[in-house]
């Protein structure tokens, strides 16, 4: 039986997490279908047909689906899910909010936040903030999985020729109503999929000082991240938090600035390829996971790095 991937999108474009999820689905079975639920998603569904590796796109278009309330989405997906062996969603706040509802309605146990797939029944997932790795086996009629996007490459967005099928909307009379969404606007790359991430912690002391970090990020075309302490202190919004209770990232380069390296923070970034730590405390645990450590005052180091990068750019050009 085929594998069903639940698309995460904003009614206009697919989120990168969807492309990561499709790659994970491919490791289970060659036949992967994509289900897209939303409002005014004709264009989105049409363009999704060309995603490499997808053989069918299922679409449910209704104005009540605009804000992705799980109470409305779940019953529709459940009906479709019955003809699949696996249903997979990204372990983003979208997927985490939605898939367990489907698990309840199907009376099936979901496996959360998978980082590796051994075979169609055996999955690898971190527990205890990544301080232990669990290999689990599930052999249910329908297997529900959320996968950690940063652990799977994104698939090609072109070359496919999927068919498009419309599925009926089911009205669930949800008692929950969408009020608003405060979305931070930024021209920087998306934190979850950026090649370089520059993260700041309590060491930055206030939100004004975060500008230093933004300058560095812009020089490197990097996304900005933060520790929970920085978010809790109001230096930056919650959507930037990296860690056990924030986002999971695995960029090629992660630069931790003024972050001590608590296990809950490491949980979200220690899969990064290259880690740089800048901290004035030589004993800070972040140095234990860093490939390159710089023991220095960040207020001195960051402007210097920016200067060095400018120099490099001059030489290169």
Partner 1 sequence: MKLVYFIEIQMKVLVAVKRVVDYKVQIRVKSDNSGVETQNVKMSVNPPDENAIEEAVKLKEQGIATETIAISIGEDKCQDVLRTSMAMGIDRSILVKSQNSLEPLAVAKTLKKIIEKEKPDLVLMGKQAIDDDSNQTGQILSALLNWPQGCFISSLKIEDKKVLISREVDEGIEKLETSLPAVLTCDLRLNTPRFASLPNIMKAKKKPLEAIEIETLDIDIEPKIKTLKVIDPPTRKAGVMVKDVKELVQKLKNEAKVI
Ligand X SMILES: Cc1cc2nc3c(=O)[nH]c(=O)nc-3n(C[C@H](O)[C@H](O)[C@H](O)COP(=O)(O)OP(=O)(O)OC[C@H]3O[C@@H](n4cnc5c(N)ncnc54)[C@H](O)[C@@H]3O)c2cc1C
CB 60 within 8 A of CB 167: yes
Q: Give the x-and-dash track for 19-38 against partner 1 (CB under 8 A).
A: --------------------
Residue from the set 72, 230, 255, 305 that interacts with ligand X by CB under 6 A:
230
The secondary structure of residue 174, as a DSSP letter, is -
Residue from the set 81, 298, 302, 305 that interacts with ligand X by CB under 6 A:
298
The secondary structure of residue 8, as a DSSP letter, is P
Nearest to 201 by CA among 256, 280, 264: 256
Site for partner 1 in 73-92 (CB under 8 A): 74, 92
Nearest distance, CB of residue 244 and partner 1, angstroms: 7
Residue 286 found at the interface with partner 1 (CB under 8 A): no
Residue from the set 46, 71, 171, 281 that interacts with partner 1 by CB under 8 A:
71
DSSP 264-294: HHHTTTTT-SEEEEEES-TT-THHHH-SEEE
Residue 196 found at the interface with partner 1 (CB under 8 A): yes
Which of partner 1, ligand X, none is residue 128 near (CB under 5 to 8 Å by kind)?
Answer: partner 1
Please report which helix (H) or strand (E) contains residue 105, including its range.
helix 93-106
Nearest distance, CB of residue 96 and partner 1, angstroms: 5
Per the rule left: phi > 0, alpha: psi between -120 and 50, beta: everything else, 97 is alpha
Residue 55 found at the interface with partner 1 (CB under 8 A): no
Site for partner 1 in 236-275 (CB under 8 A): 237-239, 244-245, 247, 252-253, 263-264, 270, 273-275
Beta bridge partners of 166: 59
Residue 35 or 248 with smaller CB distance to partner 1 = 248
Nearest distance, CB of residue 54 and partner 1, angstroms: 23
Q: Give the x-and-dash track for 103-122 against partner 1 (CB under 8 A).
A: xxx-xxxxxxx--------x
Sign of the CA dihedral running 12, 16, 19, 20:
negative
> What whole-number distance in Å separates Cα of residue 260 and Cα of residue 53?
42
Site for ligand X in 231-260 (CB under 6 A): 241-246, 258-260
Beta bridge partners of 33: 4, 56
């Amino acid at each position: 039986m085929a594998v069903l991937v639940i698309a995460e999108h904003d009614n206009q474009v697919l989120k990168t997490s969807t492309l990561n999820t499709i790659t994970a689905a491919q490791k289970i079975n060659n036949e992967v279908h994509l289900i897209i639920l939303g409002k005014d998603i004709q264009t989105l569904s049409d363009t999704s047909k060309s995603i490499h590796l997808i053989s069918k796109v299922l679409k449910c278009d209704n104005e009540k689906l605009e804000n992705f309330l799980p109470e409305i989405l779940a019953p529709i997906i459940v009906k479709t899910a019955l003809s699949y062996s696996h249903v997979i969603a990204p372990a983003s706040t979208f997927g985490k909010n939605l898939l367990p509802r489907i698990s309840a309605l199907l009376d099936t146990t979901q496996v959360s936040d998978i980082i590796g797939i051994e075979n169609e029944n055996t999955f690898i997932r971190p527990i205890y903030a990544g301080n232990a790795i669990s290999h689990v086996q599930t052999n249910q009629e329908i297997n529900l999985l959320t996968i950690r996007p940063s652990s799977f490459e994104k698939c090609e967005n072109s070359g496919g020729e999927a068919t498009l099928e419309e599925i009926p909307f089911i009205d669930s009379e949800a008692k929950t109503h969408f009020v608003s969404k405060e979305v931070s606007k930024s021209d920087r790359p998306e934190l979850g999929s950026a090649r370089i991430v520059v993260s700041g912690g309590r060491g930055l002391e206030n939100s004004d000082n975060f500008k230093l970090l933004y300058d560095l990020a812009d020089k490197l075309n990097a996304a900005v991240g933060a520790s929970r302490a920085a978010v809790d202190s109001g230096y930056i919004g919650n959507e930037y938090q990296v860690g056990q209770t924030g986002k999971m990232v695995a960029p090629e380069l992660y630069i931790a600035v003024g972050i001590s390296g608590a296990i809950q923070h490491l949980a979200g970034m220690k899969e990064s390829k290259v880690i740089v730590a800048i901290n004035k405390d030589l004993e800070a645990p972040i140095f234990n996971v860093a490939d390159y450590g710089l023991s220095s005052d960040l207020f001195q180091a960051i402007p210097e790095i920016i200067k060095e990068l400018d120099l490099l750019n001059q030489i290169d050009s």
